[in-house]
Amino acid sequence: MIWKIRGREYDLSQRGWIMGVLNVTPDSFSDGGRFFSPEAAISQGLQMATDGATILDIGGESTRPGAHPVSADEELARVLPVIQGLRAAGLDCLISIDTSKADVAAAALDAGADIVNDVTGLNGDGRMAGVVADFRAGVVLMHMQGTPRTMQAAPDYRDVVSEVGDFFRQSLRQAVGSGIDPMSIAIDPGIGFGKTAEHNRLLLRSLAAFQSFARPLLIGVSRKSFLGWIAGSQRVEDRFWPGVALTCYCRESGARIFRVHDVKPHREALRTIEAIIEDA
């Protein structure tokens, strides 16, 4: 399983990657703005790299349920000092920009980012695909029903697995038709983005259905509310162990990239399961 990012090929066939979540927002559901200042975000990013993250996913606009959008200027003011500061500090792992705005993506890629993680699957900004293609960036195409502000109002599907698969087929055609190298694409079913707890469960038990796309599969379940449904508690701190368990389950089910807040334990769990299921 090869993922091509800015002209370089990475083999994910036997060893999965941890993507560390670095929210540079005042209203994240998961960390409450702890890393809103550039100094705090840079320090956290360097620690995540030390803990084993292969990618840092930096976002300046919250995509939690009910979140309101921010301007491109505000988003850039939040993320660019962090990207520049991490590169100045010698960070050598990959950086992903979590945005659906082409202007933000272009500036972030110019500042040292490598990947665009677009929660709209290139549907939020008509110029995004061109930016990804021009920079030869890696890109994550995520499925979301609705927008962050509306997505959890009343999610509804005839067949969630089939419909997410149809979305990937359409998005992949659109991306390749816009000049994006198909080898540069990863896919994300968007757990928690316009889905009920039952929709999430059905997607997770059906990850094999997405193997036919032959692209790296990214899963982001860390600290999400449906883990509380599993754990029987709505406290964020009680979602930790269910999330680690799902990293192991999803790796065995074919996922290769894991977007998490707590890098070290997820990386250790990932390497443990790989020692069992992969040939030496």
Could you give the residue numbers annotated as active site?
224, 259
CA distances from 180 to 13, 36, 132, 174 (A): 22, 32, 7, 9
For 240, other C-beta atoms within 10 Å of its C-beta total: 17
Smallest CA-to-CA distance from 54 within 83, 84, 96 is with 96
Contact (CB, 8 A) for 112 and 87: yes
Q: Which residue is it, tokens 């110029």?
A: 127
CA–CA separation, 128 and 234 (whole Å): 36
Q: Where are the beta strands (DSSP E) in 50-151?
A: 55-59, 94-98, 115-118, 138-142
Contact (CB, 8 A) for 141 and 193: no
Contact (CB, 8 A) for 189 and 200: no
Contact (CB, 8 A) for 146 and 192: no
> Rounded to a whole number, what is the distance in angstroms from the first to the last CA of the chain?
17
CA–CA separation, 264 and 15 (whole Å): 15
Per-residue b or e along 72-84, where b marks 16 or more CB atoms closer than 10 Å to that residue's CB? beebbebbbbbbe
